[in-house]
Amino acid sequence: MARRVRDVRAIPLWLLREYLVEAGGRAERERVVGERWTATLSELPDYRVGGLAVGEVRMQLEGDEEALDALEASLAPRLLRGGG
């Protein structure tokens, strides 16, 4: 079983949870459980750069490597945020 941790900025926890559900998971409180993978979400303190504060969520993924690769590939376009 593999484990991956990613801190995601500028996407609220509720929306990240929805993305995981749309990727085939089932929401169970702070976890989303999919076929051969589990994601645990937790809010982190805001990420700060000078006077700018951005929300941040930690996403812990556990499952088999192939399932996690597929999940991360399906989430990638949604997690991309352009900067200015």
4-24: per-residue pLDDT in tens?
A: 999 999 899 999 999 999 999
- The answer to whether 8 and 43 have CB atoms below 8 angstroms apart is no
CATH class of 2-79: alpha beta
Q: What is the pLDDT of residue 43?
A: 96
Beginning with the edge strand found earlier in the chain, give each strand of the sheet holding 31-34 in spatial order: 2-9, 52-63, 37-49, 31-34, 26-28
For the stretch 25-84, pLDDT in tens is 999 988 999 999 999 999 999 989 899 898 999 999 999 999 999 999 999 999 986 554
Cβ-contact 6, 59 below 8 angstroms: yes
Report yes or no: 10 and 78 within 8 Å, Cβ to Cβ.
no
Decide if 61 contacts 37 (C-beta within 8 A).
yes
DSSP 8-class letter at 40: E
Q: Which pLDDT belongs to residue 80?
A: 84
Domain spans in the chain, listed from the N-terminal domain onward: 2-79
